[in-house]
Chain A
Amino acid sequence: MSDQAYDAVGDYRFGFHDPENSTIRFDKGLSEQVVRDISALKDEPKWMTDLRVKAYNHFMERPMPDWGNCGSLNEINFDNITYFLRSSDATENDWSDVPDDIKNTFNRLGIPEAEQKWLGGVTAQYESEAVYHSIREDLEEQGVLFLDMDSGLKQFPDIVKKYFGTVIPHTDNKFSALNTAVWSGGSFIYVPKGVHVEMPVQAYFRINAKNMGQFERTLIIADEDSSIHYVEGCTAPTYSTDSLHSAVVELIAMKGAKIRYSTIQNWSANVFNLVTKRGVAHEKATIEWVDGNIGSKLTMKYPAVLLKGEGAHAEVISVAYAGKGQHQDAGAKVHHLAPNTTSNILSKSISKNGGRSSYRGMLQVTPKSHGCRSKVVCDALMLDSDSRSDTYPTMEVGNPTADLEHEASVSKVSGDQLFYLMSRGFTEAEAMGLIVNGFFEPFTRELPMEYAVELNKLLELEMEGSIG
């Protein structure tokens, strides 16, 4: 990388940007007309246009959240955001048809290479819409639907209408209202009964333009006794002005189904990442959120699971790295709404260079949910005295048979561990890197190997210069 380029992007590897060659770009700012124009441009059915308008009105009426990092949240200037930008006229299924500049970006991110090696399908979203989409033929033959959300709505309107907004209604919070009003792109997946998608499918989200808002909408439905692993990655260029990423992800796991949703969020440090993720697990179904937050200026994301059917299980593993100027406000919510449901939450965070990491969680057992079990573990590591770590867990127990545990600890890197490793020849920085990788190991071992290697590399980069 040239010095000039390095100056522009700093330590963030994906901070490069391409020239903005958009085919359609809306003016900045949000109005009902913008919402209607997005819908008209996509030639959507009337029910979706009406829903968007309803959500827009709710967004305008609803105040900003009065909890969390309100100071940072109030910095968002909704009038200075571009709500829709189309970079390519079509969603291609061959990389050679994708416009060169966009293809180059994804090449640099390693997406086509990964697809060939180990993915069952890929959606690549650039700004507001998917520019590339493919799925392995064998999966298609088994009836697996994996499309970008816009195509999903066009081709399978009945399924989308049946499930869209059922897990996260537009009235859920201010940002789910915003997403419902201006959503564009995202993934739509339907896995038929009894089908197990062995290889993970991946979506990659890239913001390239300045002051861009990315509002993808993802809906995954795993029918009875099926399973799928969905992986998403996110990056954006480093600009001096802020961008907004506000996604909504809805998962529905039918009886006996299993959905694993893995995220490595590595937005640049000028992106507000305000995401609502929630899944519904029916009888004996499993939903797993594997959630890594490394980038962004402010992340507020609490993957949630509604355990609605007897014997359902939820697993949330999340890690957060908060560096300079970053606030990672992440956590998990599990609502035990049915008997004999179980959940595990593991949260790990590291704060460094004045970063702030917060765990915010909710564990609820309703009165009729007998025999529920849950365990929550939060560990925080602080690498210097300028950083901050908070834990805000909530346990609401309405049934006497529930067995719940929560434990949390905040500590710094142990001097003994550093000494041990350094006595075996590692430098202090290497030793620190090893300890941090070890700290995150329960998370990385749940990722596909390529992602785990990538995450370790990212962490090593972030850790550079952390000593002395």
Chain B
Amino acid sequence: MKYSKMELPSRADHLWRYTPWKRIHPTSVEQVPEAIPIRWSLNEGGSLSDGVPDHSMNDDIARIFLSELTSEKVSLSVDGSASIVHLHGVASGHAAAGRLHIDFHQDTTVVIHLSGEADWAGLHITGSVQANVRAGVGFVNELSANTKFLRCEDWIVERDARFELAALSIGGFRCKNDLRTRLNATGSSLKQAISVHGHNQRHVDHHIEIHHHVGHTDSDLHVHAACNDQSHSISTGLLTIAESANQSDASQVFKNLLLSERSRAEAIPELEVLADDVSANHGAASSPVDPDQIHYLMSRGLGLEEATALIIEGFMQDGFSMLKSKELIDEIRTRLTVHLECELKR
């Protein structure tokens, strides 16, 4: 299917309800503009090579558009020499795009840092976690405050593999993230944590799909969004459990902390369950900063701003507490702390 032949997605679909395609497209919707490839660099622990395997799990408009936008495709191979691999991407120019593929054949954690001053950035990440592997991927969005960002991810988790995904969304102006994982074989497990810090006029839209394709699989999703100023966070989750996927255990929790009069947050945690012997649940909550917590901290000598900042930090850190990979947690938490230090004490 060519992008030019595709119909624009309907806003009746939750995926496009709050961030319609035309608002995330870099120019006008009928165009596929020229894009500068995202520049990748790697310190240690692996190597980058050109080309990616065919990994067409989904063929929706965003993925087709990204595939036409960039011809430069990069695969990351990790060699096991480092417990954590840092991959840095820089997006620059009017429009920047990248296509990245990672296959995990051994226990590793990869943290992807995306930064740059591009007006628009698009990134499609695909990958798989092979049988019995414990892998983790962290994604830190540190794009400039004026960048529009479109990101798609497609992951496949194989038999008895343990996969942890952590994402920290602190950069970019308008961000649309469409993240999909398929638990493809018995015993596969996913833990996914996302923390969003909404500030200024950030608009951050996360759509997370987790598909339990077979039984005896488990998934756990936590999304924490703290929204300040005039920011807007949207979290839509779709948890599907196939008819044959009995004994699956799935849970998703969306929490929003609203910090200003003009901030907004949306949560749509959807469940589609076709098997009967499963445990599937979801929860969503939205609340202001708890005055009792503020009182407690202020009674111990903190000022109001410090107390609030500490609560925000705790709330966002808490999203990652269910992850098992210490390297991943430490790295993401460090990035978060640095960001909040700059942002809350500006």
Which residues of chain A have a CB within 8 Å of any CB of chain B?
Answer: 65-67, 367, 380, 382-385, 387-412
Contacts and interface: CB of A to CB of B under 8 A. Distances in A.
B288 A393 contact: no
B276 A395 contact: no
A380 B239 CA distance: 15
A396 B273 contact: no
Given A398-B264, A400-B261, A406 B269 contact: yes
A389 B273 contact: yes
A395 B280 contact: no
Contact of B286 (A384, A388, A390, A404): A404
Given A382-B273, A396-B266, A406-B285, 5 more contacts: A382-B276, A404-B287, A409-B282, A410-B278, A410-B280
8 contacts: A65-B12, A380-B273, A388-B273, A395-B268, A395-B286, A407-B281, A408-B271, A409-B279
Nearest to B268: A394
Nearest to B235: A395
A110 B288 CA distance: 51
A396 B275 CA distance: 30
Contacts of A405: 283-285
Contacts of B287: 402-404
Contacts of B271: 389-391, 408, 410
Grouping DSSP codes into helix (H, G, I), strand (E, B) and loop, the B interface class, with mixed when no group exceeds half, is strand
A408 B258 contact: no
A465 to B, nearest CB: 17
Grouping DSSP codes into helix (H, G, I), strand (E, B) and loop, the A interface class, with mixed when no group exceeds half, is strand
B12 A67 contact: yes
A390 B241 CA distance: 10
B261 A399 contact: yes
A403 B10 CA distance: 31
B341 interface: no
B330 interface: no
Interface in B248-298: 256, 258-288
A124 B216 CA distance: 53
A402 B276 CA distance: 35
B331 interface: no
Contact of A412 (B260, B270, B276, B284): B276
B228 to A, nearest CB: 9
How many of chain B's residues touch chain A, expressed as a range? 35 or more
B243 A397 contact: no
Contacts of B10: 66
Contact of B281 (A393, A394, A403, A408): A408
Q: Which of A367, A383, A391 has the most CB of B within 10 A?
A: A391
A385 B246 contact: yes
Interface string B51-90: 0000000000000000000000000000000000000000
B284 A393 contact: yes
A387 B272 CA distance: 11
A395 B267 contact: yes
B270 A411 contact: no
Given A399-B258, A400-B259, A409 B281 contact: yes
B268 A393 contact: yes
Contacts of A385: 243, 246, 275-277
A294 B271 CA distance: 22
B261 A406 contact: no
Contacts of A408: 269, 271, 281-283
B269 A393 contact: yes
A396 B264 contact: yes
A391 B237 CA distance: 11
A281 B315 CA distance: 35
Contact of A397 (B246, B262, B264, B282): B264
Contacts of B283: 405-408
Nearest to B252: A408
B272 A388 contact: yes
Nearest to B281: A409
A406 B262 contact: no
B282 A66 contact: no
A214 to B, nearest CB: 27
A402 B288 contact: yes
A396 B10 CA distance: 19
A409 B259 CA distance: 29
B258 A395 contact: no
A401 B282 contact: no
Contacts of A380: 273
A391 B271 CA distance: 5
Nearest to A351: B276
A131 B258 CA distance: 54
Given A367-B261, A411-B279, A395 B284 contact: yes
A389 B258 CA distance: 31
Q: Which of B243, B259, B272 has the most CB of A within 10 A?
A: B272
A403 B273 contact: no
Interface string B9-47: 010111000000000000000000000000000000000
B283 to A, nearest CB: 4
Closest 4 CB pairs of A and B: A400-B258, A409-B281, A382-B276, A406-B284
Nearest to A387: B276
A29 B283 CA distance: 46
Contacts of B246: 385
Contacts of A392: 14, 268, 270
Given A389-B271, A397-B286, A404-B286, A410 B281 contact: yes
A406 B267 contact: yes
Nearest to A374: B286
Contacts of A399: 258, 261
B39 to A, nearest CB: 39
B278 to A, nearest CB: 7
Interface in B128-155: none
